[in-house]
Structure 1
Amino acid sequence: MLLLHHPCGFDEGTSALLATLLDADQPDAGAPESLPITPLTKGELSGWLDAQPAATAAWVRALNFTAEPGSLAYLPGEGGAIARVLAGVPAVDDLWAFAGLPAALPPGRYRIDADLDERAAGRAALAWALGSYRFGRYKSSDKGFASLVWPARADRAAVERTAISTYMVRDLVNTPASDLGPAELADAAQALADEFGADCEVIVGDELLDRNYPAVHAVGRASPRAPRLIDLRWGKPEHPKLTIVGKGVCFDTGGLDLKPSSAMLMMKKDMGGAAHALALGRMVMAAGLAVRLRVLVPAVENVVSGNAFKPLDVLKTRKGLTVEVGNTDAEGRLILCDALAEADSEKPDLLIDFATLTGAARVALGPELPALFSNDDRLADDLLAAGTAEEDPLWRLPLWASYRKGLDSKVADLNNVATHSFAGAIIAGLFLQEFVSKETPWAHFDTFAWNNAARPGRPEGGEALGLRAAYGAIARRFG
């Protein structure tokens, strides 16, 4: 049996497996016969029943099975054992069609008894893998998952690459700040670098000032867990430059503009942008894309102490611009601006950043739909198209130029927030745009990185939102 554990070296204690998928061509010696799963849409059910023996059709009708997506029917065999499973699906190539089965079926060995093309086979295997995720670092479970014979035409490398990277996002985001601070996030990046032979440099504490990352230092200096900048590099220097930046706020109290307790409950996930950046970097390296990859993650905690940065402080930034602090709870854009300025200094062929940046994006688009901003229409179109193709949707919001005046400051080059409460996600995007050259193709993902409620293949908790879309666009551009 193929049991793939989380590969990044971060959460070795987790009981969650990547997937319980079996080799189709080389089954384990002595392994039991796999049980067939017949996927059926509501429109296909009648024809399937007509082709069955009368007793079988009568049994299915007696169960009142209508092939409603997500529904199951068990057909009995000799001695009352299960002989076949009927699974209602919206379509066999729907990404989530099989995602609920690993948890819903009795533990055992199954195969999909249908002639799936490459797309459908890959999606079925990926759905099974994502539906087999459990975050088990702190809570064990005796319930196992059903296992699946690899569908014959599935692109195994692509499925494993996507599933492992999604697991990485989920594990990192789900881990509480007590066990995931800036140092532990850097350890996860180093483990990733070690896995693929990449270089990883980490700039820590006051060295950030010596190396001219003053905004990262200002936000993170109040915590006893020192701030740092993670810098991972991989690939040949002559290849096109792809740079990915991720917001790594490992916990956000709001700083001196303290959040209420209700708003602080989910702030372990405020490093979700960093988790996405590392996972996307992993997908690129695992696929061996011909790019010069760089991943930059400013990692901090935004907490309260005597040396915390204060409202109306004026901060220096790596680019040389000064920023008046209108609100210490808008800290993510402050650490990102230093990282984006460094990324932009190398004139990358593509620059992408991920951040759990604004509540305004969630108010506008809800938890399932990341907001996309870009200074390049072609890049935005590529990302939106990839999101549709990968069933990982995005929604583009404008970098509306006339709103930029809301960031004007009387004492500094700009403020980190506007003086009004309108268009918060756009204002944040406009702030970040100040640190990226017009010539650099750049996209900013304002993502939630969380499932509020469980759905098949998408358990409540940390989630990769925009990851498959971003990789799809990158692979099409540089593959």
Structure 2
Amino acid sequence: MTDYASMLQPDKGQSAHTIHLVNPDGFDEWLKALPDRERQSVTAQGFTGKEAELAILAGKEADAWSAVIGVANPEKLSSWCLAKAAENLPAGEYRLVEGEPGQAAFGWLCAQYRFDRYKQDPEAVGTKTLLTSKPAIIDEMVALAEATDLVRTLVNIPASDLGPAELQDAAETIATNHGAEMSVISGTDLTEGYPMIDAVGRAAATDRAPRLIELQWGKTDDPRIAIVGKGVCFDSGGLNIKGAAGMRWMKKDMGGAAHALALAGLIMARKLPVRLHLLIPAVENAIAGNAFRPGDIIPSRKGLSVEIGNTDAEGRLILGDALSKACEDEPELLIDFATLTGAARGALGPDLPALFTDDAELADDIIAAGIAGDDPIWQLPLWNGYDEWLKSPTADISSTSSVPMAGASTAALFLRKFVENGTKWSHLDTFAWRNAAKPGRPKGGEALGIRAHWGMLKKRYLPE
């Protein structure tokens, strides 16, 4: 992992290049105050103060230069205001001319993420260090960047190198780093105790066998929270096989597990006073003679029988068994992350994860934390009237809706069947991917919703 701690350091008056922050409203006044040499340099580069514009101001000596970047509001920086500078400036140390980076330090760090492990000659990029006179922010900003890095990297790794076993390895590393207890359920125990997880994953090769990964951490008398992440390491669609375009990026179908692992790591790194229970059902939805079929009726850990409507709606099955297990320990809060439906993307696009919960206060807290941290989330309804669309004439419930509408909501309603009444629960249907790069956010795997949930957890368990 990138050494993010070296990229955000206390300002002790050390030598550093300065960064000016300007917006169009203040550009003319700022430009007039510059020496002729710097004014000419800015004009020659066509800099006008527009957001994300970057220019270099020549100094009296070769190494005495400074930089200027256009931002929306110099007095209130967003997480991504400094990302363009971090991407394009050369290696070295930097400080702002006025003010503090605040949460823009997060974007500075994330802009220096690299995924180049498969490149023969990766580009050598030096460290760009931002200085702050408020060192209290450093540890949390670094932890957030590391959590984002983990999600991006796990999602970016191709399925040939990241199956259920490798997902287990990632969980073991996190458990070891933080002194957590970890267990793995597989084989006969999985078949008997978690039949939906077993059904989805049983067609995979033996070295990619399905499993349930569990991690527990924290004092047993602290508030108990459970986090569940969908770990479909590759989704062919099963016997309802996907087309080529739909299958191309299915290495990312374990994005929910990546989010859950990253949030769990963040909770432990920041020592949140909770008893944490992490559950990752890890499978590959493959095709073989023993693959589960449309029309099959399979049992679940909760005891409900489920008629399979489509084998490409597999994520909700493995989550159902994991949610049932999580509820057995009566958590006061249950959160799940999943790259669950294309319907959520059709409704909200790639940038907005869809949030589902029956708890208005929980929804408000997550959404508010997302707005405050530039990690937006949008709530969609758990509409009780659509429950009837999940009825089956031959089983307790159908895995898919009988009506081709509101697909994200009906998937969430299916999950709710496996959550005990009275449990405070939220479900995030996230994309875990960025189709096009933005400053600080490269194309590829992406953490969408972690900082919103972390903000909510801090409010609840680390009140100021």
* Correspondence 1:77 to 2:59: yes
3-state DSSP class of the match of 1:100?
Answer: helix
* Correspondence 1:308 to 2:291: yes
3-state DSSP class of the match of 1:279?
Answer: helix
**How do residues 206-245 of structure 1 correspond to structure 2 at under 5 angstroms?**
206-210=188-192, 212-224=193-205, 225-245=208-228
Residues 145-199 of structure 1: CA deviation (Å, up to 9, x unaligned): 4512331125011101100001000010001111100011011001100000000
Report the AA paired with residue 426 of structure 1: S
Distance 1:169 1:257 in 2: 28
* Correspondence 1:134 to 2:114: yes
Q: Quote the offset at 1:55 in angstroms.
A: 4.3
Report the AA paired with residue 171 of structure 2: A
Query: Residue 131 of structure 2 aligns with which residue?
Result: 150
Distance 2:323 2:315 in 1: 12
Distance 2:354 2:374 in 1: 15
3-state DSSP class of the match of 2:10?
Answer: coil
Query: Residue 125 of structure 1 aligns with which residue?
Result: 105
Distance 1:79 1:284 in 2: 47
CA contact (8 A) 1:19 1:133 kept: no
Distance 1:228 1:380 in 2: 31
Distance 1:262 1:59 in 2: 48
3-state DSSP class of the match of 1:142?
Answer: coil
Residues 176-227 of structure 1: CA deviation (Å, up to 9, x unaligned): 11110001101100110000000010112222024x1111011101101110
Length-normalised TM-score, structure 1: 0.92
CA contact (8 A) 2:10 2:134 kept: no
**How do residues 166-205 of structure 1 correspond to structure 2 at under 5 angstroms?**
166-205=148-187
Distance of aligned partners of 1:205 and 1:230 in 2 relative to their CA distance in 1, 3 Å threshold: same
Query: Residue 280 of structure 1 aligns with which residue?
Result: 263
Distance 2:165 2:187 in 1: 11
Query: Residue 103 of structure 1 aligns with which residue?
Result: 87
Distance 1:202 1:280 in 2: 19
Length-normalised TM-score, structure 2: 0.95
Report the AA paired with residue 84 of structure 1: S
Number of equivalenced pairs: 456
Report the AA paired with residue 48 of structure 2: T
* Correspondence 1:437 to 2:420: yes
Query: Residue 9 of structure 1 aligns with which residue?
Result: none
Residues 332-361 of structure 1: CA deviation (Å, up to 9, x unaligned): 000000000111111111000000000000
Distance 1:24 1:153 in 2: 7
CA contact (8 A) 2:9 2:138 kept: no
- Of 339, 362, 369, the match for 1:386: 369
Residues 4-34 of structure 1: CA deviation (Å, up to 9, x unaligned): xx2xxxxxxxxx554651533569xxx9x42
Distance of aligned partners of 1:60 and 1:409 in 2 relative to their CA distance in 1, 3 Å threshold: same
**How do residues 319-338 of structure 1 correspond to structure 2 at under 5 angstroms?**
319-338=302-321
Distance 2:8 2:351 in 1: 31
3-state DSSP class of the match of 1:110?
Answer: strand
- Of 143, 149, 155, the match for 1:161: 143
Q: Quote the offset at 1:245 in angstroms.
A: 0.3
Q: Quote the offset at 1:455 in angstroms.
A: 0.4
**How do residues 298-377 of structure 1 correspond to structure 2 at under 5 angstroms?**
298-377=281-360
* Correspondence 1:65 to 2:47: yes
CA contact (8 A) 1:333 1:357 kept: yes
CA contact (8 A) 2:201 2:284 kept: yes
Report the AA paired with residue 127 of structure 1: G
Query: Residue 405 of structure 1 aligns with which residue?
Result: 388
CA contact (8 A) 2:8 2:105 kept: no
Report the AA paired with residue 468 of structure 1: R
Report the AA paired with residue 150 of structure 1: L
Q: Quote the offset at 1:88 in angstroms.
A: 1.0
Flag structure 1 segments of 5+ consecutive residues without an equivalent. Answer: 1-5, 7-15
Query: Residue 37 of structure 1 aligns with which residue?
Result: 19
Distance 2:369 2:132 in 1: 24
Distance 1:460 1:37 in 2: 26
- Of 436, 439, 450, the match for 1:467: 450
Report the AA paired with residue 181 of structure 1: G
Distance 1:332 1:454 in 2: 27
Query: Residue 438 of structure 2 aligns with which residue?
Result: 455
3-state DSSP class of the match of 1:435?
Answer: coil
3-state DSSP class of the match of 2:428?
Answer: strand
3-state DSSP class of the match of 1:230?
Answer: strand
Distance 1:124 1:151 in 2: 11
CA contact (8 A) 2:90 2:128 kept: no
3-state DSSP class of the match of 2:83?
Answer: coil
CA contact (8 A) 2:297 2:306 kept: yes
Q: Quote the offset at 1:54 in angstroms.
A: 4.1
* Correspondence 1:86 to 2:31: no
Q: Quote the offset at 1:410 in angstroms.
A: 0.7
CA contact (8 A) 1:102 1:145 kept: no
Report the AA paired with residue 160 of structure 1: V
Distance of aligned partners of 1:115 and 1:26 in 2 relative to their CA distance in 1, 3 Å threshold: closer
- Of 382, 398, 404, the match for 1:421: 404
Distance 1:123 1:89 in 2: 14
3-state DSSP class of the match of 2:184?
Answer: strand
Percent identity at matched positions?
Answer: 49
Report the AA paired with residue 292 of structure 2: F
Query: Residue 49 of structure 1 aligns with which residue?
Result: 31
